[in-house]
Amino acid sequence: MAKLSHRMSEPVTESLLTVKDLSVILSREGRPSRVLDGISFDIFPTEIIALVGESGSGKTSIGLTLQGLLPREYLPQIAGSIRLAGIELVGAGRRTWRSARRHLVRAISQDPMGALNPTMTIRRQMRESNGGAERSIEDWLNRTGLPDPDRIADALPHRLSGGQRQRVLIAMAMMARPKLLIADEPTTALDVTMQAQILDLLRDLARDQQTAILFVTHDLSVAASLADRILVLYAGRIVEMGHIQDVARNAAHPYSAGLLAARFDLDSDRRRPLPTLPSERTPSVDVGKACAYATRCPIAQPDCRAIRPPLEPASVHDGAVACLHHEQTPLHSAQRSDGKPWPAQAIQETVALRLSNVGKTYPTGTRSFWGRRQPQPVLRSVNLSIKLGECVALVGESGAGKSTLLRIAAGLVASDSGTVTRFDKLPPQVVFQDPVAALTPWLTIGEQIGERLRAISLDSDYGRRRVGEAIKLVGLDPVLMDALPAEMSVGQCQRAVLARAIIVPPKLLLCDEPISAMDVSLAATTLNLLSDLRRRLEMAMLFVTHDLAAARIIADRIAVLKDGELVEIADPDAIIAAPQSAYTRSLIAAMPSLQAGGGR
């Protein structure tokens, strides 16, 4: 292992962070589970390392372990070694940990909206960060590109946008001049243009400050645009590590290859289903003595279930891989053209949804004496119609009015002006961003899907059969009919939400950012499912997203919304090949791509 890391680091310098055989066991509700299992890696000064894996792979746990901030109520048991700048942290006392957090390792989180104390001004929160040096606060806010740092410093967090908050958090972390910055999906909650700016900022600051970054992400394109090396994590184990370009070109582990294949961008083939990772993880088998990926692996052999593969030098690149049969890993680029094309799309002449001159204002700004607020327009005279069998994707950055438009289309919000006409008398069905929150926790999946049948009892054979059919249509196991939402994965919940929407097939399906919180493979699976359902049930669909790549894959037309106005609406490939508005051009330019190589 020592030999290996030596081989991988070009400059012969002392490593900043050495993690050796790190294992972490957390007990949730009295049940211990191993979230990290024999993790070893180094980070050298000023290096940027991407840590990639699906949700639940243990990415976030590594970051928290390195800061000593694993939740105490889970009674963490940590074994192995973490040496940060020469200090051993495993088994260290509270003081050592606190001093490490103060001076050596800082973090910025996934959720800029929640990561700032809502009742404390930015200035006071920043003052805590560097031990009270007042003068540098505005300086740092300035360096992160925030306009008017004076005003921002004295503001409370809720006055700032998501992008501004993330900049504040970056300033707060970097002003302590840490040696290591842990960035846990810092751009997931932001739209594309903001994401590109934040990534640039991080890269520049890290270079200036000589800070190494551990960049946690599920997005391989983001990883590629920023990092030097990549660690691929699966079920708490490192399955592959290497230089980012090597792995992106030629992944050695079947899991990495699958992740890369499932990734979609503006060049993905939209005529056929996206390649996805083989079925969801089943937490069966005794993973201790097996390859954790064996249950999903397309090239698994019998020995994969008996031997835990060690991390060994890979044959296809300079890095290391934990797979007994990695010579047989299929090239991910080869997986991308598999799959039957979608059947030809029949768009009917009937208009399922027509919005004419729809306008909407919301009260915002400061309150007057009697608590009234000034009305601010969010939508200005929007015209949009969707035919049966057609899918229109609505693209725009946060605050453009996308969600308001969807709510007006759904009849959940009344428009102030203009008319909304729907072909179907049944209310349209809506799929929201968070599938777990969209299900009632104490009702079984079957009950919730069956509710839409109204008069038909779920106890009747007919009712159960109808629910069973809907469940099968969305690719769920009918056994899950009696499961509660908490017993299912996020992906399964998303399918249940869709089953509920289509049991009485609506003529119009409205989707509000249904994939934006999902990792790559789940997002690809969901896009495939939606594409399949709308074709089979001949539904009209409005797909709201800030992800241009997803919009291009699912939609027949893309509509671009900016500041409440539709600036462009056209065929996806036409819009991407020749964007008409400056705003659309900036959206396309901000898309991260594997080939970008981070501009280094």
Q: Which residues bind another protein (CB under 8 A)?
A: 67, 69, 71-73, 98-103, 106-107, 109, 111, 114-120, 125, 128-129, 156, 158, 169, 172-173, 176, 367, 369-371
Query: Is 483 exposed, middle or buried, given 0-12, 13-18 or 19+ CB atoms closer than 10 A?
Result: middle
Q: What is the dihedral of CA 140, 143, 148, 150, to 10 degrees?
A: 10
Nearer to another protein, 119 or 282 (CB): 119
With respect to another protein, which residue has the nearer C-beta, 172 or 392?
172
The 3 state secondary structure assigned to 493-537 is: HHHHHHHHHHCCCCCEEEEECCCCCCCHHHHHHHHHHHHHHHHHH
Min dist CB 107 to another protein, Å, is 5
Least distance (Å) between residue 106 CB and another protein: 6
Smallest gap, in angstroms, from Cβ of residue 154 to another protein?
12
Smaller CB separation from another protein, 131 or 147: 131
Tokens of 348: 């009917």
Minimal distance, residue 94 CB to another protein, in Å: 8
59-61-66 Cα angle (round to 5): 105
Q: Cα–Cα distances in Å, from 396 out to 188, 352, 430? A: 16, 23, 19
Going edge to edge, which strands form the sheet with 320-321?
A: 105-108, 180-184, 212-217, 48-52, 229-234, 237-243, 320-321, 312-313
Sheet of 508-512: strand order equals 429-431, 508-512, 540-545, 391-395, 557-562, 565-570
Name which of 129 and 404 has its Cβ closer to another protein.
Answer: 129
Helix, strand, coil abundance in the chain, percent, nearest 5: 35, 25, 40
Q: Token pair of 185, please?
A: 């999906």
Q: Which is nearer to another protein, 106 or 552 (CB)?
A: 106
> CA 324, CA 304: separation in Å to the nearest integer?
7
Which bin fits 161, alpha (ψ -120 to 50), beta or left (φ > 0)? Answer: beta
> Residue 431 forms beta bridges with which residues?
511
330: which residues sit within 8 A by CB, 6+ positions away?
A: 254, 257, 298, 299
Residue among 312, 311, 316, 313 nearest 246 (CA):
316
Cβ of residue 155: shortest distance to another protein, in angstroms? 10
Across 266-281, b (16+ Cβ under 10 Å) vs e yields bebebebbbbbbeebb
Nearer Cβ to another protein (116/322): 116
Least Å distance, CB 125 to another protein, is 8
- Minimum CB separation from another protein for residue 109, in Å? 6
Say if CB 166 and CB 198 are below 8 A apart.
Answer: yes
Tokens 């065929």 sit at which residue? 571
- Please give the C-alpha separations between residue 120 and each of 91, 145, 157, 171, in angstroms, as whole numbers: 33, 22, 8, 16
Minimum CB–partner distance for residue 185 and another protein (Å): 12
Cα–Cα–Cα angle for 135, 185, 59, rounded to 5 degrees: 120
Token pair, residue 13, equals: 């310098």
Of 166 and 448, nearer to another protein (C-beta) is 166
Sign, Cα dihedral of 563, 569, 574, 578: negative
Q: Which is nearer to another protein, 102 or 305 (CB)?
A: 102
Closer by beta carbon to another protein, 86 or else 371:
371
- Residue 105 CB, shortest distance to another protein, in Å, is 8
Least distance CB 30 / another protein (angstroms):
12
Instruction: Tell me whether residue 99 or residue 417 sits nearer to another protein (CB atom).
Output: 99
Q: How many CA atoms lie within 13 A of 305 on its CB side?
A: 10
CB of 117 to another protein, least distance (A): 4
Residue 16 CA to residue 82 CA, distance in Å, equals: 11
Nearer residue to another protein within complex by CB, 169 or 300 = 169
Q: Which is nearer to another protein, 114 or 283 (CB)?
A: 114
Q: For residues 103 and 308, which CB has a smaller minimum distance to another protein in the complex?
A: 103
CA-CA distance, 403 to 513, in Å (whole number)?
A: 9
